[in-house]
Amino acid sequence: RPKAKVTIKPDQHVFGGETVTLICDIHVEGVTSWQYSWYKDSSGNVFSELQKHTFRSVTESDSGKYSCYGVERAGSRSTHLSDEVTLTVLDPVTLICEVYGSSTGWTFS
């Protein structure tokens, strides 16, 4: 049996609020249609059945280990569960640069 593979776009480490897409890749000659199952943190609960699952605005609660699995729609073949891939959602960072005093005309880089 083939093994499914998870890819995370744009990256496995992202900031809260970003859009993240999980992709389940299965390459088997002659199979054109798969039914996908997505799992988070080794739970038995399927949270999506799409090949590509998109989080429009990730939060820290979306952090975790993701895996996928496929079953051929028009046949009997299935894949092995993919290896887990970890998504880490980080708090956004704000940098502030201030100059204290009464002078004006400062520019910041």
Mean per-residue pLDDT for 80-98? 91
Tens-digit pLDDT profile for residues 26-81: 998 888 899 999 999 999 899 999 999 999 999 999 999 999 999 999 888 999 99
Q: What is the pTM of this model?
A: 0.82
Contacts from 90-97 at CB under 8 Å and sequence distance 24+? 90/13, 90/14, 90/15, 90/16, 91/15, 91/16, 91/60, 92/15, 92/16, 92/17, 93/15
22 and 86 Cβ atoms separated by less than 8 Å = no
Angle (CA) 43-49-54 rounded to 5° is 90
